[in-house]
A and B are shown apart, each in its own frame.
Chain A
């Protein structure tokens, strides 16, 4: 451990104040949200005594339940597909040079850079032109949302997987082949276990991105097929009810759980790969 210099007087005081301010800005809204989700008052920001009725309403409200179900289905399906495709893309780019691999490499990062709105418009135009050009009609809704989520998740997955692969020496794969492993066995017993933390990390990232997305989903969703964040957004426009607080707390808890999982996954497999 490097020794840190002892700060004196004012500097020390200012720094710790700064830290407390940062924490305050981070967590005060969250704390407020959680507190008011238990408030027995019809206004979002007013305390009216303790209740759990908003959570009850959360469980009873068909709109919320429908949106939640959609969100989970979209998230799982798009994560599974984008993890497979993203891992394959990462592997091919990191381990092989092929015609157009540089171009593919550059293009793969595009969805990370392009603003959500642009991506959303692109996807919308894409689905419309599929209909216009080749007569392929995809009903706006579950399938279009899932396809769009896959489209942007692949990039994130492949970036995380590649980072892991780059830290793993190719000699290990050569050693496996030297020890009579076929290509498939090499992947199954050496490459895959070693990049698994990357794949898990990528999957959790894809899951979170899919559960969170509002903009793109809003553009490509159809009537009756919204995801939870989009539903919450529309609730706000209709007039705010503390139900939103309850829904948000549930989403917050789910995200926190995913983050915790990803941390645990990284810790248990954290050994360096050389």
Chain B
């Protein structure tokens, strides 16, 4: 191995492209997933995240590029020759086998003795709290239980990387939240890399160490959830992850941008003067006060407007503030003693310079 360091990445994707006929599903992506990492691939449907996962699993072969698992090239190896296992979107449990036979299937295919396979499968079922269900057929289990069986069936093989394709998509909200916590602690205990495909950004943020955001076959940004949220690489990422206000603007110089209405704001960006950009402002980063109450240090990042609508959420209040040429979403404080505003009130809004972020298109 030409590997220089002592840490080999679990999955190394370099220059991978996947074409289906004329359609480019995955467009020249590079990606490294570390050993023991909880990694999410996030994007809208059709963005290429599932295709990428299937290429790691060996269910699709890349049209171009190289794919390594712990340093070994696996580009065109069939799925049964790869040290990875998959939890499929609809679990894909074998309906004609008992739960125990489902879970021991992988071990049996690797020529493990029947009794040993059964006892290891039983252990794994106990671990996911389904020890009692081993004699049942998958159709006799609830969705959440089927999900656990699918997890046990993959993990019993001690994969070097576990792939999960929208594993929580079919569960209801409460169960999904439970499984999120469970998956995370399972991953931490096993120390195995989990590569997780989802279109749900909250799920990705809550569970992963790092997120890869994809759109139209391209990899847009890879980073920890906080970085993706606070420092989105472009307009798409800013818009896709969480709620945000995108203010169209043009770069004036290193430190300033000009909004579409002509207002000049202090906002440093690395883009060249004249570039059309957008300023991303999260609703919770904006403060609201009576007109003219902007603290002096925020004068350079302040705008005035009128409250258009108010939505009371209990823990917070969502205001829509009309600035004239754009409506700003502002998340206001709802704790006792804070000034609340009603529709029609004249207000000032301001934010800290560190919380805005200029993105290119």
Interface residues of A (CB under 8 A from B): 169, 171-172, 174-182, 185, 189-190, 193-194, 269, 271-274
Contact = CB atoms under 8 A, between A and B. Distances in A.
Contacts of B96: 193-194, 269, 271, 273
B94 to A, nearest CB: 6
B59 A174 contact: yes
B4 interface: no
B127 interface: no
Residue of A172, A179, A269, A271 with most chain B CB atoms under a 10 A cut-off: A179
Given A169-B92, A176-B94, 17 more contacts: A171-B90, A174-B59, A175-B86, A175-B88, A175-B92, A177-B78, A177-B80, A178-B57, A178-B85, A179-B109, A179-B154, A179-B157, A180-B80, A271-B137, A273-B95, A274-B90, A274-B95
B79 interface: yes
Interface in B64-83: 78-80
A271 B78 CA distance: 30
16 contacts: A169-B90, A171-B90, A172-B92, A174-B59, A174-B88, A175-B88, A176-B105, A177-B78, A177-B80, A179-B105, A179-B109, A179-B157, A181-B109, A194-B95, A271-B137, A271-B139
Interface in B153-181: 153-154, 157
B106 interface: yes
A144 to B, nearest CB: 40
Given A179-B85, A271-B139, A190 B94 contact: yes
B2 interface: no
| 9 tightest Cβ-Cβ pairs between the two chains A and B | A179-B106, A175-B92, A180-B109, A171-B92, A177-B79, A180-B80, A181-B109, A178-B86, A178-B79
Interface string B99-143: 000000110011000000000000000000000000001010000
Residue of B92, B137, B154 with most chain A CB atoms under a 10 A cut-off: B92
Residue of B84, B94, B106, B139 with most chain A CB atoms under a 10 A cut-off: B94
Contacts of B157: 179-180
B172 to A, nearest CB: 19
A178 B95 contact: no
| Overall SS of chain A's interface | helix
Contact of B79 (A174, A189, A194, A272): A174
B55 to A, nearest CB: 13
Contacts of A177: 58-59, 78-80
Interface residues of B, number: 26
Contacts of B84: 178
Given A177-B78, A178-B86, A182-B80, A172 B94 contact: yes
B346 to A, nearest CB: 58
Contacts of B94: 172, 175-176, 190
Nearest to A180: B109
Given A272-B95, A274-B95, A178 B90 contact: no
Nearest to A193: B96
A180 B106 contact: yes
A185 B57 CA distance: 18
A176 B59 CA distance: 11
Contacts of B110: 180
Contacts of B95: 172, 194, 271-274
Contacts of B90: 169, 171, 274
A75 B80 CA distance: 40
B139 A185 contact: no
Nearest to A269: B96
A271 B153 CA distance: 21
Residue of A175, A177, A185 with most chain B CB atoms under a 10 A cut-off: A175
Contacts of B85: 178-179
B50 to A, nearest CB: 12
A274 B170 CA distance: 15
Contact of A174 (B92, B105, B139): B92
Contacts of B59: 174, 177-178
A174 B90 CA distance: 12
Residue of A172, A177, A180 with most chain B CB atoms under a 10 A cut-off: A180
A190 B110 CA distance: 16
Residue of B79, B139, B154 with most chain A CB atoms under a 10 A cut-off: B79
A263 to B, nearest CB: 19
A109 B207 CA distance: 52
A201 to B, nearest CB: 16
A185 B109 contact: yes
A190 B106 CA distance: 12
